[in-house]
Amino acid sequence: MRLLFLGDVVGKSGRDGVADGLPGLIERHRFDFVIVNGENASHGRGLTEGHFGEIREAGADVVTLGDHAFDQRDTLSYIAREPTLLRPINLPPGTPGRGANLYESRAGHRVLVVNAQGRVFMDPIDDPFRAVEAAIAACPLGEQADAVVVDFHTEATSEIQAMGFFLDGRASLVVGTHTHIPTADHRILKQGTALMADAGMCGDFDSIIGVDIEEPLNRFLTGIPNGRFTPAEGKATLCGVAVETDPRTGLATRLFPVRVGGTLSQAVPGF
């Protein structure tokens, strides 16, 4: 099975980049299943229902969220009826929506997707390791699931690496989101789980992590806010990771970083 994961979509640049670039990626590389993190897609914070629909229409089978999951008020009104939208599984009990779900790929494979949020340098939240472990135990790789993908929305790359080793042999892919910077540590661990500490973002890299340069630079220089953060609107780079899995085990056999369009050096899947 061929899986594509794209990192945080940031603002209009990211949405336009996904709409323009994702269909061609799916067609050229014959991806069976696509996951996109959309938590910054609407004005840089959260995801409206309309923008969720745009990402799905572009080819995303599942859209994941993160610490900005409910920054757009209408998310509360639609997340419970959208099974293809996931929020972090370790949010408090009673939070609307779901943090994990089993889906069917284009070829009929069963794909478990889990969305979790980290705790290092982030707001207090329930234990992500135990929450993810419980979701996978209920739908094990090679039994109920043909592939398992975990989007771990974290600030610290060490925390996502820890999650990768924690799940090695029990997940097809463990990938980090949130920092918006693609890491170069993509690899397949000893027991067959693909790991990448951060997928990067789908957005304009002529920016400071997707935001127009002026205001964040002002805050670094002066410590005094002078306005709101505004998503940059130049041409987007689509960043993420592509994985091919063993049809017998669901574990990773090949792994490639993805960087398409915009200003970053380009990287495309080797299949």
For the annotated catalytic residues, the residue numbers are 68
Tokens representing 149 are 């993908």
Query: How far is residue 43 from each of residues 9, 51, 170, measured CA to CA in Å?
Result: 10, 10, 36
Take residue 139 and report the two structure tokens written for it.
């739908």
Radius of gyration of the chain (CA): 17
Q: Give me the residues paired with residue 40 across strands.
A: 10
CA angle 4, 233, 256 (to 5 degrees): 20
- How far is Cα of residue 95 from the mean position of the Cα atoms in its chain? 20
Between CA 120 and CA 201 the distance in angstroms is 20
